[in-house]
Structure 1
Amino acid sequence: MTSLIHVPMALSTQGSTLLTVAQSIIDASAPMGIESKAVLSDNRGVSLRSAELHFVDYTRTCPREWFNRRELAVDVAAGFAGLRRPYYGHAYDPAVEAVQGVGGDVVLLYAGHYVAATLPAWSAVRKDSTIVLYCHNPLSRSYGRRELSRLLSAADVVAFCADHLRVDVEERLKGRLPAEFMTVHNGVDPLFTPAIAPTAPNEPFTVVFAGLTTPHKGTHLVLEAVELAARRAQRPIRAQIIGSHSYGHAESISTEYEASLRTYADRMTAPVEFLPFLSKPELSEHLRAASVACLPSQWAEGLPLIALESMACGLPVITSDSVGMIEAVGEAGFVVPGGNPEGMAEAIVILAESEAERTAARDRSLMRSRRFSWANVATAFASLGRDISARG
């Protein structure tokens, strides 16, 4: 039986993207007879189902969620000199120690908190396992080319959830790859399925946003676009904002930005509903009941799960031209440069008033979403263990 050891970001919180990805791969692995193990922080209230869990105290080596600027500067200087980074280079030491006696064919190191800086330590204690650096965001620019090449050479495979992330690192290394590079696109949970009957033409047209309610996700742009569309469309338009400034289910307003969203919503003519982060079953129900997803991210996403999940529910997806969003939606989405509210409003009105446009967009979304499967992800990683065994 092939076994995968999942090592999510050291100080992950329940509901965060990387823990969601880990759980999705674990769920897909079980029916295929792939054994799952995981290393988690013992003081963050996190857990994963259907896996053998090993809890460690990351605060021994990483007392805060992030090291400060002075500590990062020391790290960068050490890395430039060819030395192990004294802070982030040791952040995962508790996990390295914990897995020394744990059997596993493949170790999946979810890139975050500079886990790449710890690759030499992992390769030293897991000589019989395939070491995979699993990247969901751009690798830190604090790594110079020589340091990045040296660190990645300690991995057997560097896996990226999106092609644009892989290409970025290849360009930084000027094509001289120190390990095997591969793209393993994210999947879609089977819970996300289309509604039996799409929203009727006489019902309010619901524009849904789901994710972190932060400036870099462009939540304010959604509200601006909905207000513009509501003034122009013949059909009632409403907005539904699902999420919070941090992962979890808290409903309290705790940032100035979130307060500003509600202040703006109070002045809108279009109705707005705010909901906290939802469980997967709840989120899938809300997506099926919506009319269109609006996701104007303002940063270089990896391969955003919410875009894939929205398409799997048959929703047309309006996005910014964030490189990760473009890779996720492909030809199926409505891409608006910069997530400009005027452009998004135009797309909303077209979809709200044309049944033919809605049907065509729904069909494109469903067809696109079928490319993404967590079973394929689990199979791809499990095969790496078999491949390295065959080489040995």
Structure 2
Amino acid sequence: MQRSTDAVDRPYVHVITPGDHYSPRTGSAVPTVVDGLVRGASAGSAPSSVVVARGTYPDRYPGVDVVEYPQVSARRADRYLDAASSRVGLPRFGARRAFAATVQDQASWAPSFVLAHNAPQLVPLVDPSRHLPVLYAHNQLLRTYGHRELARTLGSVHRIVCVSSFLADETVSLLPRPLRDRVVVVHNGVDAPGSPSAEPRPRGEHLHVVFVGRTIPDKGADVLVDAVRELARDDVKLTVVGSAGFDAAAPLTLHEKDLRRRASGSASPVTFTGFLPRGRVREILRTADVVVVPSRWAEPFALTALEGMAAGAAVVASDIGGVPEAVGSGGVLVPPDDVRALAQALAALADDDTLLARTKIAGAARAHEMDWSRARSRLDAVLGSARARTPGADA
């Protein structure tokens, strides 16, 4: 493995999942993170580019060079063939065929960090004599791998970046010993408010509670709907933003229909917006008094929690996975899948304007310290691309 001293001034090439959109129209978290890391660069940071499939949304995030490639269509049998190949010690040829298109022009790129976002199978396709491959893990990616396959697939990896210490610990537990010291943590960031000490906006006639996320069981929107229904208060209103996927026109799933059925019996007004592009999501967050992240699964990181804080809302979130690392001391944590505990937390904020204001202020301060510039400084430091480390970047 090349030492980080060879890495100063190397550009960053971010490779997102084939077919994903590098656009504010998508609800996918990975493009949001890549855009934040690009914009968080300091004057001394190396330049960045993003590798994007041709034919994806044309209204892309600004301020970065986009490298297009013709996407290779996935074959229906690839997933099953890859699973079978991995069990007998062969490479996952289907995944590699799709990812090979993303780096087909890598010989013409300047020596770079190639950041493979959620893509272990891209790592062995990066030419290690020219580039430094980096696996950027936003989720747990390695549960289906054995040590032998991981050693073969990730042997050339420069670093394995995880978005939380929780995810890093899980990842290390799955890796063969020689790869474990390559795991580093770079927490996600947020567009911080201008002044963390600004007076929080007062609540209106209703305490406006907002959920943003995919409306699937893992995300726990049903827990929030049930908590609001248990409150039975007409001075609380709930807005649920999101769909099961990232398509506003998709038909409702059984779970989404059940959410609406549950909400119909609530004394509190409940609105379902369906999927919205990020610009509209930000507008709704700016009207929120409380943003709730009620996940019942161990999320690696809760980007929505930081976005709620940055928008000036108090945040209540599940105490699970990497969510507490996002929330820090800026919000209220409740046990996951606990309707009564969530209802009690919301009631406390609805009944006490001082507590609500204090929680909003704490959240704004947390968002300010988690600005994207801090995340980028940390990334530069752990990859060895920074000439001088920013004070506190390794915190």
TM class by shorter-chain length?
0.7 to 0.9
The verdict on how the C-alpha distance between 1:140 and 1:171 changes in structure 2, with shifts beyond 3 A counting, is closer
Matches within 5 A, 1:31-180: 34-45=46-57, 47-60=60-73, 62-63=74-75, 67-68=78-79, 70-78=80-88, 81=89, 83-111=90-118, 115-122=119-126, 125-173=127-175, 176-177=178-179, 180=182
Matches within 5 A, 1:292-307: 292-307=290-305
Q: 2:270 & 2:364 partners in 1: Cα distance? A: 27
Deviation, 1:272, is 0.9
SS in 1 for 2:72: helix
Normalization by structure 1: what TM-score?
0.85
SS in 2 for 1:133: strand
Matches within 5 A, 1:1-392: 2-13=10-21, 14=23, 15=26, 16-29=28-41, 34-45=46-57, 47-60=60-73, 62-63=74-75, 67-68=78-79, 70-78=80-88, 81=89, 83-111=90-118, 115-122=119-126, 125-173=127-175, 176-177=178-179, 180-190=182-192, 197-200=200-203, 203-231=205-233, 236-247=235-246, 250=248, 253-383=251-381, 384=383, 386=385
Deviates more, 1:167-176 or 1:84-93: 167-176
Contact 1:155–1:179 (CA under 8 A) maintained in structure 2 = no
Deviation, 1:136, is 0.5
SS in 1 for 2:93: coil
The verdict on how the C-alpha distance between 1:385 and 1:90 changes in structure 2, with shifts beyond 3 A counting, is farther
Contact 2:143–2:174 (CA under 8 A) maintained in structure 1 = no
The AA in structure 2 aligned to 1:19 is P
Listed one character per residue, the Cα deviations across residues 152-208 of structure 1 (whole Å, up to 9, x for unaligned) are 2211111111111111121223654355221111010246987854233x6211111
Deviation, 1:252, is 5.5
Q: 2:330 & 2:169 partners in 1: Cα distance? A: 23
Q: 2:92 & 2:279 partners in 1: Cα distance? A: 42
Contact 1:316–1:361 (CA under 8 A) maintained in structure 2 = yes
The verdict on how the C-alpha distance between 1:266 and 1:387 changes in structure 2, with shifts beyond 3 A counting, is closer
Q: 1:63 & 1:51 partners in 2: Cα distance? A: 31
Listed one character per residue, the Cα deviations across residues 269-305 of structure 1 (whole Å, up to 9, x for unaligned) are 2101122444444333322321111111122212121
The verdict on how the C-alpha distance between 1:371 and 1:197 changes in structure 2, with shifts beyond 3 A counting, is closer
Provide the identity percentage: 28
The verdict on how the C-alpha distance between 1:137 and 1:143 changes in structure 2, with shifts beyond 3 A counting, is same
Deviation, 1:7, is 0.2
Contact 2:117–2:137 (CA under 8 A) maintained in structure 1 = yes
SS in 2 for 1:274: strand
Deviates more, 1:159-168 or 1:256-265: 256-265
Aligned length: 372
The verdict on how the C-alpha distance between 1:291 and 1:109 changes in structure 2, with shifts beyond 3 A counting, is same
Q: 2:93 & 2:115 partners in 1: Cα distance? A: 23
Tell me which of the two structures has the higher relative contact order, counting C-alpha pairs closer than 8 angstroms and 6 or more residues apart. 2
The verdict on how the C-alpha distance between 1:8 and 1:376 changes in structure 2, with shifts beyond 3 A counting, is same
SS in 1 for 2:91: coil
Deviation, 1:369, is 2.1
The AA in structure 1 aligned to 2:14 is H
Q: 2:66 & 2:240 partners in 1: Cα distance? A: 34
The verdict on how the C-alpha distance between 1:192 and 1:142 changes in structure 2, with shifts beyond 3 A counting, is farther
The verdict on how the C-alpha distance between 1:178 and 1:319 changes in structure 2, with shifts beyond 3 A counting, is closer
Contact 1:199–1:290 (CA under 8 A) maintained in structure 2 = no
Where does the alignment leave 5 or more consecutive residues of structure 2 unmatched? 1-8, 388-395
Listed one character per residue, the Cα deviations across residues 111-152 of structure 1 (whole Å, up to 9, x for unaligned) are 1xxx21231221xx2423322111110123110123223322
Q: 2:352 & 2:363 partners in 1: Cα distance? A: 17
Q: 1:41 & 1:301 partners in 2: Cα distance? A: 27
Q: 1:339 & 1:370 partners in 2: Cα distance? A: 29
